[in-house]
Amino acid sequence: MIGLMLRHQYVCYQDSYFKAALGLATGLAAGVFLSNCYLDESDCIFVNDPAVQSKLYNFKRFVDDGLILGKRDNEITFRSSMNSFHPCISWELSMNGPRVQYLDLDLELKP
């Protein structure tokens, strides 16, 4: 059933229809569910990676947006572990001192 759905995704833009060639079309009703199911294994690998466990305070993800709480000097370890799941999935880390934007939130760490 999932294969059938993925092969028949269409997006309407300015009265024209386009067939999605690869991945999940943005806005697909089942997109959040399918992304979470697929990336759940990646989450488990990341949080259980021995190189990451002692350095990670917390990790949360919503679809393709992740929030990592950990020390800045572990950026390379976190990125390497997250990007080891699948060669077509590449996570980027955005950091700005004690402030970061996550989804529609502006988060700040205060002493």
| Cα atoms found within 13 Å of the Cα of residue 109, Cβ hemisphere only | 11
CB atoms within 10 A of CB 78: 23
Say what the pTM is.
0.69
pLDDT score recorded for residue 103: 86
Specify the DSSP element, H or E, that contains 4: helix 2-7
CA–CA distances in Å: residue 11 to residues 14, 16, 58, 90: 10, 8, 36, 24
Burial of 44 (0-12, 13-18, 19+ CB in 10 A): exposed
Region 23-30 average pLDDT: 73
Residue 96: the pLDDT is 67
Percent of the chain with pLDDT over 70: 97
User: Tokens for 33?
Assistant: 């569910």
Element (DSSP H or E) covering residue 62: strand 56-62
**Distance between CA atoms of residues 1 and 56, nearest Å:** 37
Summarize the confidence of residues 10-22 as an average pLDDT: 86
